[in-house]
Amino acid sequence: MQRQATAAAPDTPDAGRWTQIFDYPYHRLPKILGQSEYAGERIALHVGEPGVPPPPFLAEIVAEQSGLWGKYPLGTGTPDYLQSVADWLTRRYSFPSGLVDPGAHVVAYPGSKEGLFNTALAAVMRKERDLPAGQRPVILIPSPGYHVYFGGSLLAGADIVPLPLDEENGFLLHPEALPGEILQRTALLYLCTPHNPCGSVTPMARLKELVTLARAHDFVLVSDECYSEIYFEAPPPSILEAAAARDGSFDNVLSLNSLSKRSGAPGLRCGFGAGDAELITVLGLQRGYVGTQVPGPNMAAGAALWRDEAHVTEARAFYAEGVAVAEEVFGDFAGYSRPEGGFFLWLKVGEGEAFAHRLWQEQGVSVLPGSLMARPYGECPGDTRPGTPGDDYIRFAVMHEPEKVREAARRVAALL
């Protein structure tokens, strides 16, 4: 369980919310790992920081645009930045020219995280408009999944239903199995493709089915696509393509992406949300009240990064080499399967927390136990399994130089 559980069983839903803010996973990790006496070189694999630095032109543009530090940035994005994103989407997903209207379909965000959070607030308001009084909006989140899906939904006041991702369902979401009463109250479904931490890519056919479901129940389908450019075979499809393939519109869907992984620039805080025009309008209005804008110099550099693919091709090759090296070590291990995208291995090792502790103590390697990213099975209606879908796993980040990845993989393998 990941809750802090600071109070006795809450007697109202809102009291429950108050007690459910739990430690950020990285804050809980040191307690699980403990102090290590390991004498050799330690290797950190628990964070998802990109291993490839951004191209030098990023810093050059930020320096050239230093005059913009004295100005408030445009909250929803400069026309040039929005155009660079619309052009990138059009090239990447082979959309007909003009389908993505930068003014109507795109909003700038300081990273996908802020978009994930803000969309929960907007989607709950949207659903409240339609639900009978007294009914609470629901948000569906993948479990395991990035912690902001849970935190954003909690702070937005939604009832949260985690959808377990496991071997049985191929690490893909199947919300249609939920009771109709839940789907009718659903305000938002978070999807992540390529998925952190499972490495699964949701195929186009499944994306289309999810679009159909979102439209049938009129919920917002948010696809967290911040790992979309880190792949090893075919480029992962986007929820935008699936929506457009249905009827040429982006109704009910939002894709979130950023330069953090694609361009190795998480410090730039530069990304976007793209999709449903009505939702984008509300998200744009929301920017007037809350959240940091992308600073002007960063947005100028960001536009140039979206316009360049050479550095992205190099980064992709770097992660592909890391995965290949790890696969040489883990290839025969039954708990390994090659990720389709992103830069994480989701290794089934048996008790993940105990394994992570031993690994840190005996081998000086830090990884994230899967339980820290997952919610209990029992929180999904009708699921009576004990524990969480992450309990048997560790997340191994492939972001170091290949030789370091090999060394880390050998040390993990020593405990398998």
Ligand X SMILES: Cc1ncc(COP(=O)(O)O)c(C=O)c1O
List residues binding ligand X (CB under 6 A). Answer: 48, 111-113, 146, 192, 196, 224, 226, 258, 260, 266, 271
Question: How near is the Cβ of 31 to ligand X at its closest, in Å?
Answer: 21
Question: How near is the Cβ of 400 to ligand X at its closest, in Å?
Answer: 16
Minimal CB distance residue for ligand X: 111
Alpha carbon separation from 84 to 226, 240, 262 (Å, rounded): 17, 17, 15
Tokens of 331: 């290839």
Q: Which is nearer to ligand X, 266 or 389 (CB)?
A: 266
Alpha carbon separation from 396 to 50, 211, 325, 351, 368 (Å, rounded): 13, 31, 13, 15, 7
Q: Which is nearer to ligand X, 266 or 295 (CB)?
A: 266
Q: Which is nearer to ligand X, 55 or 364 (CB)?
A: 55
Secondary structure element (H or E) that encloses residue 150, with its range: helix 147-156
Q: Which candidate, 336, 354, 353, places its Cα nearest to that of 345? A: 336
Q: Which is nearer to ligand X, 165 or 329 (CB)?
A: 165
Secondary structure element (H or E) that encloses residue 242, with its range: helix 239-247
Question: How near is the Cβ of 19 to ligand X at its closest, in Å?
Answer: 25
CA distance 380 to 383: 6
Question: How near is the Cβ of 109 to ligand X at its closest, in Å?
Answer: 8
Alpha carbon separation from 243 to 122, 218, 312 (Å, rounded): 20, 13, 26
Question: How near is the Cβ of 142 to ligand X at its closest, in Å?
Answer: 10
Rounded to 5 degrees, φ, ψ at 227 are -105, 15
Question: How near is the Cβ of 104 to ligand X at its closest, in Å?
Answer: 23
Q: Which is nearer to ligand X, 126 or 261 (CB)?
A: 261
Residues in the chain: 416
Q: Which is nearer to ligand X, 123 or 226 (CB)?
A: 226
